[in-house]
Amino acid sequence: MKILGIETSCDETGVAIFDEEKGLIANQLYSQIEMHADYGGVVPELASRDHIRKTLPLIDAALKEANLTAKDIDGIAYTAGPGLVGALLVGATIARSLAYAWQVPALGVHHMEGHLLAPMLEDNPPPFPFVALLISGGHTQLVKVDGVGQYELLGESIDDAAGEAFDKTGKLLGLDYPAGVAVSKLAEQGTPNRFIFPRPMTDRPGLDFSFSGLKTFAANTINANLNAEGNLDEQTRCDIAHAFQQAVVDTIIIKCKRALQQTGYKRLVMAGGVSANKQLRADLAEMMKNLKGEVFYPRPQFCTDNGAMIAYTGFLRLKHGEHTDLSVSVKPRWAMTDLPEIA
């Protein structure tokens, strides 16, 4: 079985082909990041228009990469939500139309389930059950995972997602959107403990997160440390980035440890854009070593949005006999816990 996967939920057009026997046989990605950088964030209408331009050429490129033609494809998976409605509609319309023309089943895939299952594409995939930490630009969630579709939400952010906090704080530090990687680069040059940011919601029980206060704390710290010219000197910029990143990382680690203790599970799976963060990976590895557990993550290119995770997730569900009807419908808001279980 060969499944074509299409991802268009936000600012990346991803197309990939997953083959039941050979695994991932094509992976194409076009990032719109440069186009949105001038505006300081994703402009939904521009995102939709660009997905229209890029999706079909990327499908052609993926078929070519895998040395296949349309006749070899057995099913199509597309991101149906959550995400930007216009962007989702582009992928859904193209996927549905091709499925109709090619006479194959199609299925709308949940973007966060795609992120959650992305580590399964690696050589050492995590066995069930595990705790998943999903940290992207739009989501911060801790999920108890007992199998595909067997999800229990343990906690989530009550305001900004972790990636959003990186992006907003990065903007205050004068960095372009999306600022996650750039903040972590500045943080590498930072002096530890010159500034101490709060670890929000760690002093009370529970597994929810709150990151919006960190951006305010960053704004206040910046204002209090401007030099005579009204700017931040370079070292202070790095020190603030360092203090911010350490606060996010420590907070996430405290909550992950709690989630593992609460479930009694020994395996942690981390996915979503922020899981590419080096400090977070290093500190989590250390914590898991102390707990005698194991941590799994996708390769960096599959931490951020991509078509491979959608092709793979679609493959699991289409193989199981699931598909959706011919209408083009998307779900900009969609709880992962509503997904059906695969026995």
Cis? peptide before 332, omega within 30° of 0 = no
* Structure-token pair, residue 315: 């493959």
Q: Which does 178 bind (CB under 5 to 8 A by kind): ligand KG4, Zn ion, none?
A: ligand KG4
Minimum Å gap between C-beta 202 and Zn ion is: 25
What is the end-to-end Cα distance of the chain in Å, rounded?
Answer: 19
* Rounded-to-integer distance, Cα 205 and Cα 308, Å: 37
CB nearer ligand KG4, residue 19 or residue 113: 113
Position 211 contacts ligand KG4 (CB under 6 A): no
* Rounded-to-integer distance, Cα 184 and Cα 27, Å: 27
* Rounded-to-integer distance, Cα 217 and Cα 241, Å: 12
Longest Cα–Cα distance in the chain: 68
Minimum Å gap between C-beta 146 and ligand KG4 is: 23
Residue type, 156: E
CA geometry: angle 316, 322, 325, nearest 5 deg:
135
* Rounded-to-integer distance, Cα 223 and Cα 226, Å: 6
CB nearer ligand KG4, residue 68 or residue 85: 85
Position 272 contacts ligand KG4 (CB under 6 A): yes
Binding mask 273-302 for ligand KG4 (x = CB under 6 A): xx-xx-------------------------
Q: Which does 140 bind (CB under 5 to 8 A by kind): Zn ion, ligand KG4, none?
A: none
CB nearer ligand KG4, residue 236 or residue 277: 277
Minimum Å gap between C-beta 103 and Zn ion is: 31
* Structure-token pair, residue 98: 């091709």
Site size with ligand KG4, rule: CB under 6 A: 19
Position 113 contacts ligand KG4 (CB under 6 A): no
Position 180 contacts ligand KG4 (CB under 6 A): yes
CB nearer Zn ion, residue 131 or residue 161: 161
* Rounded-to-integer distance, Cα 296 and Cα 270, Å: 6
Minimum Å gap between C-beta 112 and ligand KG4 is: 8
Residues forming contacts to Zn ion in the complex (CB under 5 A) are: 136, 305
Residue type, 2: K
* Structure-token pair, residue 247: 């606060």
Cβ 3 vs Cβ 77: under 8 Å: yes
Position 178 contacts ligand KG4 (CB under 6 A): yes
Position 5 contacts ligand KG4 (CB under 6 A): no
Binding site for ligand KG4 (CB under 6 A): 10, 136-138, 163, 166-167, 178-181, 184, 272-274, 276-277, 304-305
